[in-house]
Chains A and B, each alone.
Chain A
Amino acid sequence: MKKRVKKIISLIAGAALCLSMISTTASAETYVNYNYDDWGDPIPSQAGYVADASITGNDIGVGNLYEPADLFIDEEEEYLYIADRKNNRIVVTDLDFNLVRIYDTLNDNGTPTSLKGPQGIFIDKNTDYMYICDGDNERVIKADKDGNVLLYFTKPDSVLYGAETTFNPGKVCVDQSGNVYVVVRSVNRGAVMFDDEANFLGFYGANTVLATSEVIANAFWNLISTETQRLRTMKATPVGFSNFDIDGQFIYTVTESTTTTDDQVKKLNPRGDNILDAIDMAGYDFGDIPPAYYSMYTVANAMVDIDVSPTGTMTFLDINHGRIHQFDKEGWRLFLMGGIGWQLGQFQAATAIETHKDKIYVSDIRKNTITVFSRTVFGELVTDAAEYFNRAEYEQSTAIWEEVLRYDGNYRRAYTGIGLAHLFNKNYEPAMKNFKTALNQYYYNQAYEGYRNEILRENFGLIVGLIVLAVIGFFVYKFYRKRHPKKKERGV
């Protein structure tokens, strides 16, 4: 008897052990998969992307990479350009990491000129020319794909730029009309802007100073202090932005600064206005929600890079948490992934991010690797549904959202999507139910308004009848009371 009990117990224990092993292999990610609910609390979620591989320079066959500072994907050729900073070269591979070519010296009208610490690389879609931030040589090079230098962009000889300001280009991008924008580390007045003949045009998209109490107090003291005192006070300067990406006519900038969340991410139109205002996302913290202010041990979000896909999906890279945040065009949070560590999918100092179709490429200057993430089935579903959602094709998205909910019942945007489909079909009751689950007050209100009007319209006769009845009843009662007064009113 005792033996049998023991046997059964050991069997159960063995089964439990097997089950637990299955569950650990099922979640292969080296970081916690989570998302945020409407209260801003992190909740577990499914992985939208999984880390596929971590590619070293030896995998490509070019020796170790040494601080790969920037990545760029040429959408047409499907080539990946890696700015291998400390090795003074640009490595070009295809998307399976087979070496295509290496640029380390360029041909400047017959004389070779070598790169020194290239930090940024950009390829203009329209002209197919390369723009390389040749950081330590203090110039931006415009070259064709054969390595012939066409133009140098060097320190502007302008009073506006300032003679003492150094020119150390970090990132570069080019807009449709051929204007070149350069992020210069020593400039906090925005990107330095050149025309296509390397003439300095001015600064673009400067961040503003957040009016904190300290800034206001300093402004007050400056009013009443003397010239020498003023020189000694701390100056409030805007934080420069650290990286950008261009999508058609809009330039997206991110700042690494942890002292302000005000201009952390901006989407600039050609005039330099932040149009994230239009979707109420200006000043939004696109990183992890519980920010740094709570304890001295948590670090603030520091966005070092942004990538904007052709569909408008924004992917941010947070160097401090090694985390990737993906948002869609309308500012809905899609996925989070990554973390700090040495394992696959974790980073030490992730500095550049590029997306291409369903893949995300992240370079890390301390691990000296390029990590490739690819979208999961869940990620695919959410991305598809979000596409339909943003095009207001709620009907088509419903089936996909329902599939999403089978993977992750907490994915609240799915409820909003389903609710919107119901709302547009005038099925107010299920719409209300879904919006309530999604905690979406705005659409709930709309659905409720429709629902109420429907009820009022259907029962109009009944309601009017009740009101008439009540009025008649009131007069009848009064008449009755007049005939049969209460004892008290008759007087004692």
Chain B
Amino acid sequence: MLDYNNPQFVGHVLAHPFEGFEDLRWKKQGSIPIAIGIVVLLFVSMVLQDRAYGFQFYVSYDKIFNIVPFLVQSIILFLVWVVANWAMCTLVDGEGSMKRIFIYSAYAMIPYVACTLLGTFLSSFFVQDEGIFLTTIEVIGYAWSGLLIITSQKAVHQFTIRKTILCIILTVLAMIAILFLLVLLLTLMQQVVIFVMSIYTEISYRFRV
């Protein structure tokens, strides 16, 4: 553990959910490129889950494929989580920097990503009666990632467990607020654009006559 390099630390963190992140912090390890890779994989796994899941389990709506919902559900949601968590941790005396929150949270997502990919892959080989295996894989992914999220938060901010859970709840609330504001911003921007456009049209008509 003492001289693990970054990829080896990923394995260490996954295998030691309670100590791993503390070690990661103590050794000041964790790499941004790996974290970015995981978030991209998160996005890819979600798209694959929709497009490549076994037909006997899931019928995707093939007429329209829109990438935006997947982007929002994976990458944007993750970034919002990071920002909201960073904003909230300052309120409850967390020690994490934005960079560390990003890295640690991304590492915590690995089981979910892996189980989604594994489930998507295996779904093509199972029949409906064996669907329970896929459900099990999915549940394992959720549970493991959930556990890692909590311990990663605990490690990155050096919280007690109670404070960690409080911080997570606050973060979720903050995420909702941020997303609400984003939607509001988008709608208002749209209004502004429409306003400018209509003024432009009006003036251009003036000049044409």
Which residues from chain A sit less than 8 Å from chain B, CB to CB? 38-39, 41, 436, 439, 441, 444-445, 448-449, 452, 488, 492
Establish whether residues A439 and B59, one from each chain, have CB atoms under 8 Å apart when the complex forms. Answer: yes
State in angstroms the CA–CA spacing of A449 and B131 once bound together.
13
Which residues from chain B sit less than 8 Å from chain A, CB to CB? 3, 55-57, 59, 61, 63, 125, 127-128
With A445-B128, A452-B125: A39-B61 Cβ-Cβ less than 8 Å: yes
Establish whether residues A39 and B63, one from each chain, have CB atoms under 8 Å apart when the complex forms. Answer: yes
A37 nearest in chain B by CB position: B63
Contacts A441-B56, A488-B3 known; list 5 others, CB within 8 Å.
A38-B59, A39-B63, A41-B63, A441-B55, A449-B127
Question: Which residues of chain A come closer than 8 Å to B61, judged between CB atoms?
Answer: 39
With A436-B55, A441-B56: A448-B127 Cβ-Cβ less than 8 Å: yes
State in angstroms the CA–CA spacing of A154 and B61 once bound together.
56
In the assembled complex, how far is the CB of residue A247 from the closest CB belonging to chain B, in whole angstroms? 34
In the assembled complex, how far is the CB of residue B109 from the closest CB belonging to chain A, in whole angstroms? 28
State in angstroms the CA–CA spacing of A452 and B57 once bound together.
16
List the 9 closest A-B pairs by CB distance, nearest first: A445-B56, A449-B127, A445-B128, A445-B127, A444-B56, A436-B55, A444-B55, A448-B56, A439-B59
Pair count A-B, CB < 8 A = 23
In the assembled complex, how far is the CB of residue B174 from the closest CB belonging to chain A, in whole angstroms? 34
Question: Which residues of chain A come closer than 8 Å to B3, judged between CB atoms?
Answer: 488, 492
Question: Which residues of chain B come closer than 8 Å to A492, judged between CB atoms?
Answer: 3
The contact sample of 12 A-B pairs, CB cut-off 8 A, is: A38-B59, A441-B56, A441-B128, A444-B56, A445-B56, A445-B127, A448-B127, A449-B127, A452-B125, A452-B127, A488-B3, A492-B3
Question: Which residues of chain A come closer than 8 Å to B63, judged between CB atoms?
Answer: 39, 41
State in angstroms the CA–CA spacing of A38 and B55 once bound together.
14
A451 nearest in chain B by CB position: B127
In the assembled complex, how far is the CB of residue B27 from the closest CB belonging to chain A, in whole angstroms? 16
In the assembled complex, how far is the CB of residue A451 from the closest CB belonging to chain B, in whole angstroms? 10
Interface hub of B3, B56, B59, B128 (most chain A Cβ within 10 A): B56
Question: Which residues of chain B come closer than 8 Å to A445, judged between CB atoms?
Answer: 56, 127-128
State in angstroms the CA–CA spacing of A436 and B55 once bound together.
7
Majority secondary structure, A binding face: helix
Question: Which residues of chain B come closer than 8 Å to A488, judged between CB atoms?
Answer: 3
State in angstroms the CA–CA spacing of A448 and B131 once bound together.
14
B61 nearest in chain A by CB position: A39
A449 nearest in chain B by CB position: B127
Interface hub of A38, A449, A488, A492 (most chain B Cβ within 10 A): A449
In the assembled complex, how far is the CB of residue B55 from the closest CB belonging to chain A, in whole angstroms? 6
State in angstroms the CA–CA spacing of A41 and B127 once bound together.
28
A435 nearest in chain B by CB position: B55
In the assembled complex, how far is the CB of residue A475 from the closest CB belonging to chain B, in whole angstroms? 23
Establish whether residues B59 and A441, one from each chain, have CB atoms under 8 Å apart when the complex forms. Answer: yes
Question: Which residues of chain A come closer than 8 Å to B125, judged between CB atoms?
Answer: 452
Question: Which residues of chain B come closer than 8 Å to A41, judged between CB atoms?
Answer: 63
Interface hub of A38, A441, A452 (most chain B Cβ within 10 A): A441
Question: Which residues of chain B come closer than 8 Å to A436, judged between CB atoms?
Answer: 55
In the assembled complex, how far is the CB of residue B123 from the closest CB belonging to chain A, in whole angstroms? 11
In the assembled complex, how far is the CB of residue A398 from the closest CB belonging to chain B, in whole angstroms? 22
State in angstroms the CA–CA spacing of A444 and B55 once bound together.
8
B128 nearest in chain A by CB position: A445
State in angstroms the CA–CA spacing of A40 and B11 once bound together.
47
Question: Which residues of chain B come closer than 8 Å to A439, judged between CB atoms?
Answer: 59
State in angstroms the CA–CA spacing of A448 and B128 once bound together.
10
In the assembled complex, how far is the CB of residue A72 from the closest CB belonging to chain B, in whole angstroms? 43
Question: Which residues of chain A come closer than 8 Å to B59, judged between CB atoms?
Answer: 38, 439, 441
State in angstroms the CA–CA spacing of A452 and B59 once bound together.
20
Interface hub of B3, B59, B63, B125 (most chain A Cβ within 10 A): B59
State in angstroms the CA–CA spacing of A39 and B63 once bound together.
10
State in angstroms the CA–CA spacing of A448 and B3 once bound together.
49
In the assembled complex, how far is the CB of residue B206 from the closest CB belonging to chain A, in whole angstroms? 38
In the assembled complex, how far is the CB of residue A152 from the closest CB belonging to chain B, in whole angstroms? 57
A447 nearest in chain B by CB position: B56
State in angstroms the CA–CA spacing of A439 and B59 once bound together.
7
State in angstroms the CA–CA spacing of A441 and B56 once bound together.
5
State in angstroms the CA–CA spacing of A288 and B44 once bound together.
38
State in angstroms the CA–CA spacing of A46 and B57 once bound together.
31
State in angstroms the CA–CA spacing of A448 and B129 once bound together.
12
Question: Which residues of chain A come closer than 8 Å to B57, judged between CB atoms?
Answer: 441
In the assembled complex, how far is the CB of residue B202 from the closest CB belonging to chain A, in whole angstroms? 33
Question: Which residues of chain A come closer than 8 Å to B127, judged between CB atoms?
Answer: 445, 448-449, 452
In the assembled complex, how far is the CB of residue A6 from the closest CB belonging to chain B, in whole angstroms? 32
State in angstroms the CA–CA spacing of A133 and B131 once bound together.
56
In the assembled complex, how far is the CB of residue A486 from the closest CB belonging to chain B, in whole angstroms? 12
State in angstroms the CA–CA spacing of A436 and B128 once bound together.
15
State in angstroms the CA–CA spacing of A444 and B128 once bound together.
10
In the assembled complex, how far is the CB of residue A345 from the closest CB belonging to chain B, in whole angstroms? 30
Question: Which residues of chain A come closer than 8 Å to B55, judged between CB atoms?
Answer: 436, 441, 444
In the assembled complex, how far is the CB of residue A417 from the closest CB belonging to chain B, in whole angstroms? 19
In the assembled complex, how far is the CB of residue B163 from the closest CB belonging to chain A, in whole angstroms? 37
State in angstroms the CA–CA spacing of A172 and B8 once bound together.
81
In the assembled complex, how far is the CB of residue A326 from the closest CB belonging to chain B, in whole angstroms? 26
B127 nearest in chain A by CB position: A449
B124 nearest in chain A by CB position: A448
Question: Which residues of chain B come closer than 8 Å to A448, judged between CB atoms?
Answer: 56, 127
In the assembled complex, how far is the CB of residue B50 from the closest CB belonging to chain A, in whole angstroms? 15
State in angstroms the CA–CA spacing of A441 and B58 once bound together.
8
State in angstroms the CA–CA spacing of A433 and B13 once bound together.
44
Interface hub of B55, B57, B63 (most chain A Cβ within 10 A): B55
In the assembled complex, how far is the CB of residue A485 from the closest CB belonging to chain B, in whole angstroms? 16
A439 nearest in chain B by CB position: B59
In the assembled complex, how far is the CB of residue B68 from the closest CB belonging to chain A, in whole angstroms? 20
In the assembled complex, how far is the CB of residue A430 from the closest CB belonging to chain B, in whole angstroms? 15
In the assembled complex, how far is the CB of residue A52 from the closest CB belonging to chain B, in whole angstroms? 36
Question: Which residues of chain B come closer than 8 Å to A444, judged between CB atoms?
Answer: 55-56
State in angstroms the CA–CA spacing of A441 and B59 once bound together.
8
